[in-house]
Amino acid sequence: MIAEAGLAALWLAAALSLLQLVASLAGPRVPELRRLIVPVAAAQGALTLFAFLMLLWLFLRTDLSVQLVAANSHSMKPWIYRFAGTWGNHEGSMLLWVTVLTVAGALLALLERRLPERTLHATLGAQAALALGFFAFLLLASNPFARLVPAPRQGLGLNPLLQDPGLAFHPPTLYFGYVGLSVAFSLAVGALLTREVGPALARTMRPWVLGAWVLLTVGITAGSYWAYYELGWGGWWFWDPVENASLMPWLAATALLHSISVLAARGGLRTWTIMLAVVAFSMSMVGTFLVRSGILTSVHSFAVDPARGSFILALLALYVGGALFLFATRVGTVKEGAGFDIVSREGALVLNNLLLSVILGTVFVGTLYPLLAEAVSGEKLSVGPPYFNAVTGPLTLALALLLFIGPLLRWRRDSRPNAPRIAAPLVVTVLAFAASFVLDPAMSALARLGLGVAAGLAVASLLPLAGRNLRRTPLATWGMVISHLGVAVAIAGAAADTAFTEETLAAARPGETLAVGPWQVRLGSVVPVAGPNWTAVEGRLSASRGGRTIDLQPQSRFFSDPPTETNEAAIRTLWDGQLYAVISGAEDGGRWQLRLWWKPLVTLIWLGGGLIALGGLLALLGRWWRGRRRVREPELAYA
Amino acid sequence: MRAAPKHQRLALVLLAMAALVGAALLAMWGLGDRAAYFRTPQDIAAGRADVGQPLRLGGMVQQGSIEKQPDGVSIRFVVTDGPASVPVQFRGITPDLFKEGSGVVAEGRLTPAGVFTADTILAKHDERYMPPQLGNQAAELATRQTLDR
């Protein structure tokens, strides 16, 4: 009965989204229908949330008469994985997607007060059109509540790679981010429909974009760390299609965030902001398409199903095509914003947007090129780190260099930029660049540049605070400073990882010692251990450096349902880096394969990601707080 | 340097176009010699692979061909697709599904001596990682294994 209740709620919610669409189309002429829009949006959100909770309950109870549960769960699994297993599969994750979409629509309907009512209604119509397509996808092509008769006695289990606490947080965080951008998309469509593109739209859009951007940043950072420790390959970013699928909306949202600030503060970049809002959500849909269709192989694809891929592709074409058509026909009615000089805050933000767009374009082309090549020439190929690093690395450093100057410029025109302030970080960069030659003559050029730019940016990011009364500085300005500092920290971590990582790969007998960087690592013994649903061999390692000894226990685990082997890397974080150890389960004549890394300063990568997200959160809180006080102050920051 | 608003919009549109074209050119330049083409041993026998280019070599691990090297972490094996085969050398920890007689994709480069040096080895129950003719065999095998369970 739980499954049927969930399914009924889904159908009802789908019907309500159709009603919401019709009501907002007819709304301008029929006041009775107009009054329905907001309550219907709220009811639709509540019903979808109910359906999602029903699925969650089925997974927690391991109800094997439901096909999805039988195919992805197992009653012997720890409860946290039964819980998170709800979205560790195609149908469940799509239901989560739609749930977040409709709940966001409900919140927009209930909480938004700044927008003219006409625009709000048009926006909710666009949101309903989005929801309707995904309801159709869910109900017609991926019903999560389908029954299985007869019920099997045991479930097939969850992919062991996914049996990790990370699964509980990583996909929902990214989905909240993806879907937050759907609100920006709907707002852009709504404003185009009612021809009200202006600063009020930007102020409404900003908290949604900022919130989505914070969650995407957190999701990407956490996903990167998850892949780093779970895969046991020692890398933190693999340019896997699915990683790119989360990076592309983030890049677009980052550009959007900066152009929104120009629209909100100065009324400029109107059409560009609308375009970016459309692009950002399109990238979320492309991401969903890439992940859900399994069309590009990656560790994230659960199943390959061309029919589902085509369905999402059709939705993608419909929504993006529709929005672009609307954009093309209405762009002439968008008013011209205020002008500005090239040397100005706006000018720097335009350059920021162009660089981010170029990075986005190259990542997009690289990610989809294998599909294109196979369709055109039948040639199978893959595009990996050599391409992405070569193309995005220099562009990212150029973007970082822009950050030296941009935040220090005045709005509209800056005829006398503050030369000493701009020069200071450049001097730091040159000094750090020179120091890298002394430190390590063999370092790669990109790593050297990265360290130099990171050092300069760390100084430059703090300069907007110089000469200010820190206690009276708005939270939004603090947010900007902290996010930009986070960029410097992350670049420093990535450059340090490239430049200083030491690796040792060897087969060792118990009692033997291996060297990696400054560490002497001794393999004490290898012992069998067992967990709730796995058995493993565990290496007992002790690593010493200058009289200090730490223990490491990497495992190679064997899961029985389904039969799989995974590496549990042992990672120890020290103040100056991480020691990372992997053991292979295959014994060869009394020797065990060990892979050891010493990664100085690698933790800065995720610390930087955390700072970037924290800055966004502060800006969001600051805006919210100021919005509550309703004080009209001049715009001081742009995060 | 102050541009009139009307010209400013035009200038921004032109800038955006330039950025798009720039991104496309940059991507094409980058993809030119950095995309790894998928090749089977037959392709390589037919000369459809350049020495030193990044490649993905796909096929089956030939029965009895895995040779462990004395250092304990290097192996040599042969990838075959029936008519042709290519010797491969690899240093690292192999994935658990890497076995003789099962499908494999090796990422790496072909040396002038005709030996393929792999940086990464992928072994998955997934027809995408196999040449089509071998994919079917593997699918049959996988089905039989599932039924046996």
Pick the more confident residue, A370 or A338. A370
CA distance A384 to A298: 12
If pLDDT is split at 50, 70 and 90, which confidence band does B142 have?
A: very low
CA distance A609 to A493: 10
Judged by CB atoms within 8 Å, which residues 277-336 of A form the interface with B? 297, 304, 336
CA distance A585 to A592: 8
What value does the mean pLDDT of chain A take?
Answer: 87
What value does the mean pLDDT of chain B take?
Answer: 78
pTM of the model: 0.90
Pairing between strand B116-122 and B85-91? parallel
Contact criterion met (CB < 8 Å) for B37 and A379: yes
**For residue A391, which residues of chain B lie inside 8 Å, CB to CB?**
26-27, 30
Q: What would the mean pLDDT of A248-258 be, rounded to a whole number?
A: 96
Q: What would the mean pLDDT of B57-73 be, rounded to a whole number?
A: 89
Residue A560 has a pLDDT of: 76
In chain A, what are the domain boundaries?
1-157, 164-330+342-412, 418-500+603-637, 502-600
- Report the chain B residue with the minimal C-alpha distance to residue A301: B126
Beta bridge partners of A557: A536, A566
pLDDT, tens digit (0-9, with 9 covering 90-100), for A179-230: 899 999 999 999 999 988 888 899 999 999 999 999 999 999 998 998 888 7
Interchain contact A588–B (C-beta under 8 A): yes
Contact criterion met (CB < 8 Å) for B37 and A304: no
Interchain contact B3–A (C-beta under 8 A): yes
Interchain contact B147–A (C-beta under 8 A): no
Count Cβ atoms within 10 A of the Cβ of residue A136 and give its class: 0-12 exposed, 13-18 middle, 19 or more buried. Answer: middle
Interchain contact A65–B (C-beta under 8 A): no
Interchain contact A81–B (C-beta under 8 A): no
Percent of chain A scoring above 90 in pLDDT? 52
SS3 for B149? coil
Pick the more confident residue, A331 or A125. A125
Q: Hey, CA dihedral for A443, A444, A448, A450, is it positive or negative?
A: negative
ipTM of the complex: 0.80
Judged by CB atoms within 8 Å, which residues 56-115 of B form the interface with A? 56, 68, 71-73, 91-94, 96, 107
Inform me whether the pLDDT recorded for B138 exceeds 80.
no
Inform me whether the pLDDT recorded for A463 exceeds 70.
yes
If pLDDT is split at 50, 70 and 90, which confidence band does A157 have?
A: low
Judged by CB atoms within 8 Å, which residues 7-66 of B form the interface with A? 8-9, 12, 15-16, 19-20, 22-24, 26-27, 30-31, 34-38, 54, 56
Q: What would the mean pLDDT of A477-500 be, rounded to a whole number?
A: 95
Cα A495–chain centre separation: 21
- Residue A639 tokens read as 């995060």
Facing B72 at nearest CB: one of A271, A336, A591: A591
If pLDDT is split at 50, 70 and 90, which confidence band does A632 have?
A: very low
CA distance A253 to A316: 18
CA distance B40 to A271: 49
Facing B5 at nearest CB: one of A304, A336, A381: A336
Q: What would the mean pLDDT of B112-121 be, rounded to a whole number?
A: 91
- Report the chain A residue with the minimal C-alpha distance to residue B129: A297
Inform me whether the pLDDT recorded for B134 exceeds 80.
no
Facing B73 at nearest CB: one of A350, A370, A593: A593
One-letter amino acid identity for A125?
Answer: G
Residue A306 has a pLDDT of: 63
Inform me whether the pLDDT recorded for A171 exceeds 90.
no
If pLDDT is split at 50, 70 and 90, which confidence band does B111 have?
A: very high
Pick the more confident residue, A337 or A601. A601
Residue A95 has a pLDDT of: 93
Residue A287 has a pLDDT of: 85
Q: What would the mean pLDDT of A226-248 be, rounded to a whole number?
A: 86
Q: Which residue has the tokens 């089977």?
A: B40
A&B contacts, CB < 8 Å:
122
DSSP per residue over A126-195, as a string?
HHHHHHHHHHHIIIII--TT-B-SSPPSS-----GGG-STHHHHHHHHHHHHHHHHHHHHHHHHHHHHHT
- Max Cα separation, chain B? 77
SS3 for B44? helix
Inform me whether the pLDDT recorded for B139 exceeds 50.
no
Residue A297 has a pLDDT of: 55
Q: What would the mean pLDDT of A335-361 be, rounded to a whole number?
A: 87
Residue A440 has a pLDDT of: 82
Inform me whether the pLDDT recorded for A151 exceeds 90.
no
Residue A588 Cα distances to A265, A355, A422, B71, angstroms: 67, 51, 60, 11
Question: Roughly what angle, to the nearest 10 degrees, separates helices A166-194 and A306-330?
Answer: 30
Q: What would the mean pLDDT of A411-431 be, rounded to a whole number?
A: 84
Pick the more confident residue, A171 or A6. A6
Q: What would the mean pLDDT of A406-418 be, rounded to a whole number?
A: 81
Inform me whether the pLDDT recorded for B135 exceeds 60.
no
Output b/e per residue, A152-168; b: 16+ Cβ within 10 A: eeebebbbbbbbbebbb
Q: Which of A396, A534, A584 to substitute to test the interface with B, most B CBs within 10 Å? A: A584
Residue B8 has a pLDDT of: 76
pLDDT, tens digit (0-9, with 9 covering 90-100), for A266-303: 888 888 899 999 999 999 988 888 877 666 654 444 44
Interchain contact A389–B (C-beta under 8 A): no
Contact criterion met (CB < 8 Å) for B23 and A582: no
Contact criterion met (CB < 8 Å) for A505 and B72: no
Inform me whether the pLDDT recorded for B4 exceeds 70.
no
Residue B98 has a pLDDT of: 82
- Residue A331 tokens read as 């762009």
Residue A505 has a pLDDT of: 92
SS3 for A600? strand
Count Cβ atoms within 10 A of the Cβ of residue A561 and give its class: 0-12 exposed, 13-18 middle, 19 or more buried. Answer: middle
pLDDT, tens digit (0-9, with 9 covering 90-100), for A520-578: 999 999 999 998 878 999 999 999 998 889 999 999 988 876 677 778 899 999 999 99
pLDDT, tens digit (0-9, with 9 covering 90-100), for A431-458: 999 998 888 888 888 899 999 999 999 9
Pick the more confident residue, A467 or A501. A501
